[in-house]
Amino acid sequence: MRLLFLAAALFAASAAHAGILLDMQREFNALAEKAKPAVVNIQVEQERDFRAITPEYYFYGIPEQYAPVYRQKLSGIGSGFIISEDGYVLTNAHVVSQADTMKVTLARPDGKEASYVGKLVGMDPYLDLALLKVDPREKLPFLELGDSDKAQAGDWAVAIGSPFGLQQTLTVGVISAVRQRIRIDDRVFKNVLQTDASINRGNSGGPLLNVSGQVIGMNTAIFSPSGASAGIGFAIPASEIRKSLDRLKKGLEAAAPGWAGVALAPLDSVLVRVLGLPSVSGALIQSVVEGSPAQAAGLEHGDVIASVDGNQMSSPEQVSDYIGALKAGDKAVFGLYRKGGLASITVALSARPSSIMQAARPKPSVKKTVQWEGLELGPAAGGMEVRAIRRDSPLAEHLQPGDVVVGVNGAKTPGEAAFVKAVRAASLKDGVLFDLLRDGIPLYISVQKAR
């Protein structure tokens, strides 16, 4: 009798679980039916000229400019989603930025496709957003932007798009994390949603949805060693999209985020002791980009940023976030610790240039070397160059061949004698601060050997 009762209880529990799974499945079915018609496939084409260089141009020395010119069509695919019944479509800027033509295709409820010519209305390259417009003959289905600020790790997440050209592909996962700050392809994004919902090439620009079918993000990038989904995808949050939408609809260019042109590093106990700072709160200026607003205003390698516009700064990330929230053309007042004193410098911010040229690394010298703590150093322009490092050196994880040491614990080391004197007075157990050039870029590196 007891066995019959146990079997009946197990059957009832199994039936209950099956009912829960069926209810969940129906929710996803309903979400797919509601959302898919508003998700579009975007095909882009770009035409470019190229010269066909055949063997005779190499063997007979014929100038390349006489080679025939051909026109080539390049194509690509991406995803997007409709945000209004009159045909506004959101996608990634990197999907359409180089396109000469754009074809926007959506799937009707009856299974047939409808294609439209897409027109670029506005683009925000800094947030990787683009707004397109199609001219439909009827009202289009659309998706609503949800509240991404409420998203948290463990929430369901649904991605829809055209991975590898496979339109209307739906994948399900969860919000893996909300990244407060992450750099993707030289852009810094805030509050990015990380998901394990499968995202692949072709998903870019498609929506990331919550279980209510609202857009909480735009699928933008993946982390993958192979190029295929590895379960780590990133989406621009809807809260950031909403901020740019009005400007995009007006066709206005997005204002470039502010840029000062400094490389920053966190403070530690060694830096605090050697530089005579009151605390580890702040950000050390490792280097100043040549020709940057920071250089023009007078910021220097070794300055420590304590505040910006009167707001105390505790870390390099806080400084970067504050400056990035300002716009090119704004001014920012930097409160600094400089050589034991205080300074205040106003910097007129600009847009970040597309590329920043680094100074050439000093050429190695062939003069005699100095041995210290597993390092082999020799004289170089401005200091002592690291020629080699033993594997068992306590400095092996911090310095590298080619580094030019120009100072130790605040003492300049322009040559062998100054370097030897400085390191004799230093102790790795207490911590040593190296002032050096790496690929021509000034850096501070602090090293402290475990006691």
Residue 172, CA atoms < 13 Å, CB-side half-sphere: 11
Can you list the alpha helix ranges (DSSP code H) found in 36-116?
Answer: 55-59, 93-96
Q: How far apart are CA 365 and CA 225, in angstroms?
A: 39
Told to judge if 94 belongs to the known catalytic residues of this protein, a careful annotator would answer: yes
Give the count of alpha carbons within 13 A of 15, CB side only: 6
Catalytic member of 148, 162, 176, 204: 204
128 is annotated as an active-site residue: yes
- The C-alpha atoms of residue 432 and residue 43 are separated, in whole angstroms, by 57
Q: Is 86 labeled as catalytic in the residue annotation?
A: no
Q: By the 8 A CB rule, do 35 and 160 touch?
A: yes
For 219-233, give one letter per residue: b (16+ CB within 10 A) or e. Answer: bbbbeeeeeebeeeb
The residues pairing with 348 across neighbouring beta strands, listed in sequence order, are 331
Contacts of 92 (CB under 8 A, 6+ apart): 78, 128, 129, 130, 204, 205, 218, 220
Of 79, 94, 244, 446, the catalytic one is: 94
Residue 66 CB contacts under 8 Å (≥ 6 apart), including other chains:
none
Which residues neighbour 62 within 8 Å (Cβ) at sequence distance 6 or greater?
Answer: 56
Residue 224 near residue 203, CB atoms below 8 Å:
no
Sign of dihedral through CA atoms 31, 139, 129, 46?
A: positive
Of these residues, 128, 196, 303, 435, which one is catalytic? 128
Positions marked catalytic? 94, 128, 204
